[in-house]
């Protein structure tokens, strides 16, 4: 069926409601808009769904959500795990409560009990909830840090992590097999509740989640010691972090927590934010204004579904606030957790830290210092969650910490996804520890640079939209794959990893070995002097992403080297 036929089907079939048809009638004279909405189905990938909200097969709406849920239900029924039920959470975005309800009622109509949160909750709490309730799967309705016109739908499995191979491909196949919207099941909510197939959950899960978070505190006595003096500014970016982040900080003893009032309450339009992403410096404008007003030690921001944390810290030399990348804040927490667990005798046997392949190489140096095994995985926190599961099954390691460069980390195993709430708690403990030593968080970061090396990372992305853009992205990747550069600026390529082919090419000898990681369209160039570069297409946006890292003799030197490597990469892919 072509896109015009699909458009007319949505206009004429009684399955679709009047509001949907009215929205579609309004674009009857806009062929380009019709094509964009109907030229394909919104892709259900390894991370689930994500797209612009609206009517059409290529949009997030109640029908595409139901269709995806029917595919998931079919998979669960074939697996024979339907009696365990599915937990569902949602964020502050437009249509999030409605999409959560639609997913729950579709599951219920298939005889699968849905446990649905009574209000918005962080993504990591969903991971915790489904394991606590013994569910077979979980769903989070969120578009994370995307602009306000987006929403999304992520699927988790019984271990609490997002689904990985081969299950992800099997679920995708079931979703794609649902081609007839009229075959998708749903039921009345009151009927579902009366039949025990739809249960509202809430505070009982929150309380248990808080208990687990507190288990990660190492020095409660230090928090008590500086609680009157330390000042924290926090913004939840109008998302899910407001209640749990403030609750945990209050319960562990922090007294001076200032929340940005304009970004405190849920706002699906993110009125004061161009882009609700803690990676975006512009998003911190109001938080930094408040920080200067109250004299804050640190400034914290969580993204709308509260799985990512961004921070700024006060610098006594410049009398201003310094931004931290996800690598920096992750390493700050990791170094504190590893060192203080050893100092307090609370480090478990056979400890491990897990990082993704595009995360800072400072992690290698830190884990070596503390005698902690470091495991490297593909980009995506689901692979870190998978390592937790395997470590428990094998009994050969105890997970202590995991991180990825994109502002996500996890201490403890209460969740199997990045958790900005536990990160807020631990970062504030780090700040308290620094305060007790008479230094700032930025001072501590500088000490780490001086001890471990001036590691610095950056990203460069190319946005190429539409069908032609997809072809261009594929062409660039194939050129790099088939003719890998031997030199990038001043750096020599030592080895070339192709994770799609599971090969590692030694550029000097020509020897080929295996990566040992799952198949993925990712290319990695190991360079001399602790530098590296990695290329991969984004799974959620029309982008080709390049990640780079260097090691310098100072912050300025590392910055200069990073800029030079970026320019060398641009020249390489322009050839």
Tally of domains in the chain: 4
Do 55 and 196 fall within a single domain? yes
Residue 337 confidence (pLDDT)? 98
- pLDDT above 90 (res 467): no
Q: Is the pLDDT of residue 575 over 60?
A: no
For residue 474, tell me if it sits in a domain.
Answer: yes
Q: What is the pLDDT of residues 314-337, one digit of tens each?
A: 999 999 999 999 999 999 999 999
Closest C-alpha to 82, from 57, 116, 118, 114: 114
Give the pLDDT confidence score for residue 1 in this predicted structure. 77
Which of 156, 185, 201 is the C-terminal boundary of a domain? 201
Which pLDDT score, from 0 to 100, does residue 12 have?
A: 95
Q: How confident is the model at residue 538 (pLDDT cuts 50, 70, 90)?
A: confident
3-class SS string, 282-304: HHHHHHHHHHHHHCCCEEEEECC
Note whether 106 and 66 are within 8 A (CB). Answer: yes
Kindly state the tokens that stand for 96: 């999030």
* Dihedral over Cα of 4, 8, 27, 97: its sign: negative
**Three-class secondary structure of residue 528 per DSSP:** coil
The interaxial angle of helices 326-343 and 362-370, nearest 10 deg, is 0
User: Residue 474's pLDDT is what?
Assistant: 92
Task: Please report, for the domain that includes residue 218, its CATH number.
Answer: 3.40.120.10
In this prediction, residues 383-404 reach a mean pLDDT of: 96
Cα separation, 366 vs 380, in Å, equals 22
Q: Look up the CATH number of the domain holding residue 494.
A: 3.30.310.50
Same domain assignment for residues 162 and 178: yes
- pLDDT above 90 (res 46): no
Please compute the mean of the pLDDT values over residues 234-256 and round it to a whole number. 98
Q: Choose the weakest-confidence range: 100-109, 157-166, 230-239, 445-454.
A: 157-166
Residue 324 in tokens: 């931290």
- The Cα–Cα gap between 57 and 61 comes to 9
Contact 212, 411 (CB under 8 A): no
Query: Out of 96, 127, 144, 520, which one is annotated catalytic?
Result: 144
Is 264 found in the same domain as 386? no
* Average pLDDT of the residues in 110-135: 98
**Rounded Cα gap, residues 312 and 329, in angstroms:** 9
Q: Which residue has the tokens 């077979």?
A: 136
Q: Do 148 and 268 have their domain in common?
A: no
Percentage of the chain surpassing pLDDT 70? 100
**Domain assignment present for 35:** no
In terms of domains, do 185 and 213 share one? no
Q: Are residues 493 and 406 in the same domain?
A: no
Residues 181 and 274 in one domain: no
Query: What 3-state class would DSSP assign to 313?
Result: strand
- Among 281, 301, 323, identify where a domain stops: 323
Mean pLDDT, the chain, integer? 96
Residue 347 lies in a domain: yes
Given a contact cutoff of 8 angstroms between Cβ atoms, the answer to whether 166 and 328 are in contact is no
How much is the pLDDT for 517?
94
Together in a domain, 318 and 333: no
| Residue pair 154/142 in contact by the 8 Å Cβ criterion | yes
- The pLDDT assigned to 540 comes to 67
**Residues 6 or more apart whose Cβ sits within 8 Å of residue 285:** none
Mean pLDDT of the region 84-97: 98
- One domain for residues 382 and 508: no
Alpha-carbon distance of 372 to 334, in angstroms, equals 11
Question: Chain-centre distance of CA 465, in angstroms?
Answer: 22
Share of the chain above pLDDT 90, in %: 94
For the segment 293-315, what is each residue's pLDDT rounded down to a tens digit? 999 999 999 999 999 999 999 99
Do 194 and 131 share a structural domain? yes
Domain that holds residue 565: 454-574
Answer yes or no: do 71 and 165 share one domain: yes
| Structural domain includes residue 21 | no
The residue among 201, 217, 251 that closes a domain is: 201
Indicate if 117 and 162 belong to the same structural domain. Answer: yes
Looking at residue 124, the DSSP 8-state letter turns out to be H
pLDDT score, position 159 = 96
pLDDT at 31: 94
Q: What is the mean pLDDT of residues 181-189?
A: 95
Distance CA 125, CA 232 (A): 23
Give the pLDDT confidence of 351-366 residue by residue, as tens digits.
999 999 999 999 999 9
Please name which of 305, 308, 301 lies closest in space to residue 93, comparing C-alpha atoms.
305
What's the pLDDT score for residue 469? 86
**Catalytic status, residue 520:** no
Q: Is the confidence at residue 541, as pLDDT, over 80?
A: no
What mean pLDDT comes out for the span 95-112?
98
């Amino acid at each position: 069926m072509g896109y015009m036929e699909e458009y007319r089907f949505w206009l004429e079939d009684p399955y679709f409601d009047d509001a949907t048809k009215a929205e579609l009638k309004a674009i009857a004279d806009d062929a380009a808009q019709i094509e964009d909405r109907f030229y394909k189905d919104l892709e259900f990938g390894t991370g689930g769904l994500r797209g612009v909200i609206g009517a059409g097969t290529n949009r997030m709406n109640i029908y595409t959500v139901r269709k995806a849920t029917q595919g998931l239900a079919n998979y669960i029924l074939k697996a024979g795990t339907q009696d365990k039920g599915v937990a569902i959470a949602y964020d502050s975005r437009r249509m999030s409560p409605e999409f959560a309800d639609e997913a729950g009622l579709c599951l219920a109509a298939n005889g699968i009990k849905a446990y649905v949160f009574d209000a918005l909750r962080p993504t990591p709490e969903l991971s915790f909830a489904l394991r606590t309730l013994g569910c077979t799967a979980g769903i989070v309705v969120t578009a994370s840090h995307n602009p306000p016109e987006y929403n999304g739908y992520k699927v988790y499995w019984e271990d609490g992590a997002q689904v990985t191979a081969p299950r992800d491909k099997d679920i995708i196949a079931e979703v794609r097999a649902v081609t007839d919207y009229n075959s998708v099941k749903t039921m009345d909510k009151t009927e579902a509740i009366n039949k025990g197939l739809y249960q509202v959950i809430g505070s009982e899960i929150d309380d248990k989640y808080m208990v687990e978070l507190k288990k990660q505190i190492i020095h409660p006595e230090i928090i008590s010691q500086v609680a009157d003096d330390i000042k924290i500014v926090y913004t939840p970016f109008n998302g899910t972090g407001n209640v749990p982040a403030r609750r945990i900080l209050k319960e562990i003893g922090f007294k001076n927590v200032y929340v940005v009032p304009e970004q405190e309450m849920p706002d699906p339009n993110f009125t004061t934010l161009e882009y609700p992403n803690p990676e975006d410096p512009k998003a911190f404008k109001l938080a930094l204004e408040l920080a200067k007003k109250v004299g804050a030690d640190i400034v914290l921001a969580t993204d709308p579904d509260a799985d990512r944390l961004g921070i700024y810290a006060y610098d006594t030399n410049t009398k201003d606030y310094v931004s931290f990348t996800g690598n920096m804040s992750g390493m700050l927490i990791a170094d504190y957790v590893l060192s203080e667990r050893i100092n307090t005798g609370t480090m478990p046997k056979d400890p491990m830290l897990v990082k993704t392949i595009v995360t800072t190489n400072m992690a290698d140096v830190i884990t070596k210092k503390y005698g902690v095994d470091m495991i490297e995985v593909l980009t995506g926190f689901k692979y870190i969650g998978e390592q937790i599961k395997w470590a428990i099954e094998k009994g050969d390691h105890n997970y202590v910490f995991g991180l990825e460069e994109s502002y996500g980390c996890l201490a403890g195993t209460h969740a199997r996804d990045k958790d900005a709430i536990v990160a807020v708690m631990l970062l504030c403990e780090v700040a308290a520890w620094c305060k007790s030593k008479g230094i700032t968080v930025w001072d501590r970061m500088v000490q780490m640079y001086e001890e471990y090396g001036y590691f610095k990372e950056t990203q460069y992305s190319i946005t190429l939209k539409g069908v032609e853009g997809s072809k261009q992205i594929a062409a660039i990747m194939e050129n790099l794959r088939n003719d890998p550069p031997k030199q990038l600026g001043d750096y020599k390529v030592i080895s070339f990893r192709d994770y799609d082919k599971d090969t590692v090419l030694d550029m000097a000898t020509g020897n080929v070995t295996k990566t040992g990681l799952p198949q993925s369209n990712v290319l990695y160039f190991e360079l001399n002097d602790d530098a590296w570069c990695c290329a991969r297409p984004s799974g959620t946006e029309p982008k080709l992403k390049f990640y780079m890292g260097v090691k310098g003799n100072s912050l300025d030197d590392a910055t200069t080297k990073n800029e030079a490597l970026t320019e060398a990469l641009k020249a390489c892919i322009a050839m």
